[in-house]
Structure 1
Amino acid sequence: MSGLPHSSHALVTGGGRGIGREIAATLARAGATVTIIGRQRATLDRAVRAGAAHFVGVADVADRPALHGAITEAAARQPIDILVANAGIAESAPFMKSDAALFARMMDVNFMGVVHSIQAVLPSMRDRPRGRIVAVASTAGLKGYPYVSAYVAAKHAVVGLVRSLALELATTNVTINAVCPGFTDTDLVAGTIDNIMKKTGRSREQAMIELSRHNPQGRLITPAEVADSVLWLCGEAAGAITGQAIAVAGGEL
């Protein structure tokens, strides 16, 4: 049982594909009206046609004015009860080859995108009967990985933000948590596999084994496993859960 009120309006950033699309579809099946936001209208529209969401907004989460505009438009249709700040990007490079621009890109999307999203929904959400905010972070927000220092730093920042805001919001009707997936079977990880193959000469199977070895279960996480965790955090039964960073990683942490 999800415990979602049937009148809930959920907004999912980066909801057109991968984990975000699965989260949107899961919330929609649980009875929420779902708006997805992303950069590519065609991708978002495909998700709506497939039944994964009801409405779309086009914006880059790193572009605060555009994002706030898209969220304002969504809230005008129906006040937002649930925010899933999922949009993210990943780039890899050795630390000494990670320039300021790379760090800025990782922070702008992975961290400031979360900040912009929360700041857009929180004022009205606090006036709603209940509010749920879930940031999709990563196990990279809880530990280090080599060659992705900028990404790891940004995801650690997300987890820190969640922990801080949970204390600020503890006396309100709004909870905020993070889910931290391990390597998940998405197109983003497929790109990582391609990168491993290109840089090391390994086969696809060898590259997959390299990623899967981080998970003691010896596999990639599925988007549905992440989505189910988000659904639980958005439900009535999770009202006392706030400020947490929940690893969905097969025992990696």
Structure 2
Amino acid sequence: MTSLEGKVALVTGASRGIGAAVARQLAAHGALLGLASRAGDDLGIEGAVARPTDVRDRAQLAALADETVARHGGLDIVVANAGVGAYGPFLDLDAELADEMMDVNAKGVINTAAATVPHLIARGAGDFVSVASEAGRRGLPFEAVYCASKFAQVGFTRALDHELRPQGIRCTNVCPGGVATDFAMDEGRGRTPEMPELPGMMSAEDVADAVLFVLTRPRNHRILEVAFRPMTETSWG
């Protein structure tokens, strides 16, 4: 197991849910952090660089990456986690929600890479972890546009692996099934606190553990994809 002590990590979507769990897990293992979220929350983590950041805006991401590098001396890890969701029949999906999912989930990870990968290359090694979804590995009913956005995210990260491996950078898709957070809980997005599926779902900390596992593997190999689901969730193939 490779230590994260003194490593510098940038996490997007870091103010709540999976992003916050990942940030706390990395900090607990000695990483220095840059935290991107719309709220700009530093989660009370000592020394963390945090600023309000919309992943749809590449300039905002670049500013946070530059500030993180300036304070901590470089960048070793990027966890592209920011995401939004909306569920329901495709023909009932509001066009603005469809656009938001494509912009945040697909374009957001591209913008994150554009702002951070040059710093990983400058370091001579690193990890780019994309927190995607099982919805990025197979089509699912009532998730058509969400699946499309996550398929794009998964495909982008797989392609990036080919380009960056020769430069010592590992690229990994982490693809969880159902996770019990407030994701997509806003009105009209398809999830409610009363959903009977929620108690059987995984926790944000479960996903953070998977990210930690990926990041702490010896540098002589890389993990391309981690896919996992709660025991209560049907296997689709």
TM range (shorter): 0.7 to 0.9
Question: Is 1:72 aligned to 2:71, yes or no?
Answer: no
TM-score (norm 2): 0.88
- How far residue 65 of structure 1 moved from its aligned partner, in angstroms, is 1.7
- Which structure: greater helix fraction? 1
- How far residue 236 of structure 1 moved from its aligned partner, in angstroms, is 4.2
Change (3 A) 1:74 1:90: same
- How far residue 55 of structure 1 moved from its aligned partner, in angstroms, is 2.3
- How far residue 167 of structure 1 moved from its aligned partner, in angstroms, is 1.0
Could you list the per-position Cα deviations for residues 162-212 of structure 1 after superposition, in whole angstroms to 9, with x for gaps in the alignment?
111111122121000010111111111655999456xxxxx92xx223x67
**In the TM superposition, what are the counterparts of 1:1-253 in structure 2 within 5 Å?**
1=1, 3-41=2-40, 44-45=41-42, 47=43, 49=44, 51=45, 54-78=48-72, 79-98=74-93, 100-188=95-183, 190-191=185-186, 195=190, 204=194, 207-209=195-197, 219-237=200-218, 239-242=220-223, 244-250=224-230, 252=235
- How far residue 36 of structure 1 moved from its aligned partner, in angstroms, is 1.0
Secondary structure of the structure 2 residue equivalent to 1:125: helix
Secondary structure of the structure 1 residue equivalent to 2:178: coil
TM-score (norm 1): 0.83
For the residues of structure 1 that align with 2:17 and 2:142, how far apart are their CA atoms? 23
Structure 1, gaps ≥5 residues long: 198-202, 213-218
For the residues of structure 1 that align with 2:189 and 2:128, how far apart are their CA atoms? 33
Q: Is contact 2:35-2:50 (8 Å) kept?
A: yes
Q: Percent identity?
A: 34
Q: Is contact 1:85-1:136 (8 Å) kept?
A: yes
For the residues of structure 2 that align with 1:12 and 1:250, how far apart are their CA atoms? 24
Structure 2, gaps ≥5 residues long: none
